[in-house]
Structure 1
Amino acid sequence: MQLAIGISACLLGQKVRYDGGHKASEFCLSQLQPYVRYQAVCPENAIGLGTPRPAIRLMKKTQGDIHLVQVSDASIDHTDAMHQFTEQALPAMSALAGFIVCAKSPSCGMERVRLFNEQGHQLGKAGVGLFTRQLMQRYPWLPVEEDGRLHDPMLWENFITRIFACHDYQQLCREGFSVGALVAFHSRYKFLVMAHSPSAYRELGRLVAQAKLFEPEELKQRYLQDLMHALKQACSRKTHANVLQHLQGFFKKHLSSKERQELSSLIDRFRLGHLPLMAPITLLLHHLSRFEHPYLAAQTYLQPFPEALGLRG
């Protein structure tokens, strides 16, 4: 099955914004589109608000509740309608591998959405869009990102890594979840997880080792949530170098002294910031082509997403 991604409809160029415009995303329409199947949604259109329409915003009431109201007349409240739509729509989104939402939107924004009090005074950028808040509460493991944040290369690569990993795990579950299948999956992802979080690597290892102590459904959900939490943590040159040194160890009986020194030098120069990640990885792949090693060849770390995306510097 093709990787399925939820997305705010305006990011695909659909003219559904309050002003009749759109916020077409180059990332979504050119770089990512060949690899995914989009499931577009505009929550504001879905609750019956037309295009164009009066602007809406988030309002924090005195008792602390967050409401979605019309800017020009706060008595026009769309909160219940948005909650009802989201509750009805969320079950159909359980198979998504990620979601890209429109930044700053009172319905879709993931963070830093403007929040106002009942007197119309701004309380700062402290809100979360009503739709996205419910989405993240219902599916806490789901990779969710805003279009604006995806201009940051590190966040873009991290998001892409997570959605492909999530899709891979969902494929495992569709084909038939079992402890054996989970062990095989975890074996492929060990070094990728280690690069993101050595502590999460150890915790996931313990979970898999104790897999038979859990009910299948509990194990399936807990592993997914822990895996996605681990991969959300940013890699560093230090953690990458640690993984590269582990991978180098698999070739110690095959490489000459000069070849070992060359690989060690590339890893060290990468760690110091003098080379891109692909320099040591390319040499590792070269040695892998010379000396067959099924376990290493299966490691997701070596290619966590399609090479054509060109994300790894």
Structure 2
Amino acid sequence: MGDGQVWGRPRVAVSSCLLGEPVRHNGGHSRSRYLTDELAPFVDWVPLCPEVAIGLGAPREALRLERSPSGPRLMTRRSRRDLTPAMAELAAERSAGLTADGYVFKAKSPSCGIHGIPLYAGDAAVTRQQRGLFAGVVIEAHPLLPVEDDGRLNDPVRREAFTERIFAHARLRELLGGPWRPRDLMAFQARHKMQLLAHSTEGYRETGRIAAQAGVRPRKEVAAAYSTAFRAALAVPVTVGRHVNVLQHCLGMIGDGLDPVRRADAAEVIASYQARRVALSVPLALLRHHARGAATTYVAEQTYFEPYPEELCLRNHVV
């Protein structure tokens, strides 16, 4: 852990089959190597197969969503059992007690898919824009919860964004779940400033405003408001332009400790990132090195530089 960085340990809910459990309708699994081989050492899993949880076996009859006047119904394909009430009850129960920092769902599942699920009328799919029945309830109940499916996690940008958010959520949960004081929230905000700025200027300002009121407003009110603003800010996707803005901001803060040659070199590396010639990890490593050398503690300790364990190597791709 560089610079005393503390990432937090996320609790991540996950479709059981993605961890290798043989619970799919065909009796197999859909193990995700990123989840089981790379992310697993750093998170605590909360696995669930909704279909098994409502009493279905593995293997089992395939399911699909079907159109009805009352909304999509979760039906068995052959025996025509309507599993909607049981699945809706389970989803409501699990959503009410969910304390996870993120959720990874099984793609293309009529229960767990988060996008592109077909809705049938007879033998024809009338749309392919549905969410799985279970996943839809969870997402509606927790709109700021980081969610992805195993298919989308194959994209390096989505993978990095999801991972960044679950570790940030874990740090916030650990802070607010303890006996925090106003100065603790201010210190948390200070360490996350550049990370927040990379996502949302408005969110950066709003979280700062709420943290500054920690000694004035009621404790629970501040915690609820800050949590919402912090999570909402991190839900805004980062862009190359926002990263460049933050990198230049950090260079400006450490610039007085650099000679003209090193400052120009850092500016050139940032420009190379902006032109998509190098990965984000390159200017980050250089700026962090300079911040340490210049004893600029405020910059060196920003979560922006290491928002999750560096072993995950998620910023090494060129956008």
Contact 2:92–2:138 (Cα < 8 Å) also in 1: no
Contact 2:9–2:167 (Cα < 8 Å) also in 1: no
1:285 pairs with one of 275, 278, 288? 288
1:301 pairs with one of 300, 304, 307? 304
Q: Which residue of 1 aligns with 2:107?
A: 103
> Identity rate of aligned residues, in percent?
35
Instruction: Tell me by how many angstroms 1:210 deviates.
Output: 4.7
Q: 1: distance between equivalents of 2:182 and 2:27?
A: 51
Q: Which residue of 2 aligns with 1:115?
A: 119
Between 159-168 and 136-145, the greater mean CA deviation after superposition: 136-145
After superposition, where does 1:87-236 map in structure 2 within 5 Å?
87-94=92-99, 96-117=100-121, 119-211=122-214, 215-236=218-239
Aligned in 2, Cα 1:56/1:190: closer, same or farther, shift over 3 Å?
Answer: same
Q: 1: distance between equivalents of 2:158 and 2:208?
A: 26
1:219-275 CA-partner distances (Å, limit 9, x unpaired)? 323322332232233222211111011111122221111121111111112112222
Aligned in 2, Cα 1:214/1:61: closer, same or farther, shift over 3 Å?
Answer: farther
Contact 2:118–2:128 (Cα < 8 Å) also in 1: yes
Q: Which residue of 2 aligns with 1:79?
A: 84
Between 242-251 and 130-139, the greater mean CA deviation after superposition: 130-139
Q: 2: distance between equivalents of 1:214 and 1:140?
A: 25
Q: 1: distance between equivalents of 2:130 and 2:218?
A: 37
Q: Which residue of 2 aligns with 1:69?
A: 75
Q: Structure 2 length as normaliser, TM-score?
A: 0.90
Matched position secondary structure for 1:122: strand
Q: 2: distance between equivalents of 1:132 and 1:40?
A: 14
Give the letter aligned to residue 66 of structure 1: P
Instruction: Tell me by how many angstroms 1:289 deviates.
Output: 2.2
Q: 2: distance between equivalents of 1:264 and 1:293?
A: 18
Aligned in 2, Cα 1:138/1:179: closer, same or farther, shift over 3 Å?
Answer: farther
Corresponding pairs, count: 309
Matched position secondary structure for 2:257: coil
Aligned in 2, Cα 1:289/1:213: closer, same or farther, shift over 3 Å?
Answer: closer
Aligned in 2, Cα 1:178/1:133: closer, same or farther, shift over 3 Å?
Answer: farther
Between 217-226 and 140-149, the greater mean CA deviation after superposition: 217-226
Contact 1:140–1:225 (Cα < 8 Å) also in 2: no
Matched position secondary structure for 2:45: strand
Contact 1:9–1:41 (Cα < 8 Å) also in 2: yes
Cα RMSD for the two superposed structures: 1.9
Q: 2: distance between equivalents of 1:300 and 1:277?
A: 15
Q: 1: distance between equivalents of 2:120 and 2:247?
A: 49
Aligned in 2, Cα 1:214/1:127: closer, same or farther, shift over 3 Å?
Answer: farther
Matched position secondary structure for 1:251: helix
1:37 pairs with one of 44, 64, 68? 44
Structure 2 portions without partners, runs of 5+: 1-7
Determine if the alignment matches structure 1 residue 255 to structure 2 residue 261.
no
Contact 1:110–1:128 (Cα < 8 Å) also in 2: yes
Structure 1 portions without partners, runs of 5+: none
Q: Structure 1 length as normaliser, TM-score?
A: 0.92
Contact 2:291–2:297 (Cα < 8 Å) also in 1: no
Give the letter aligned to residue 57 of structure 2: G
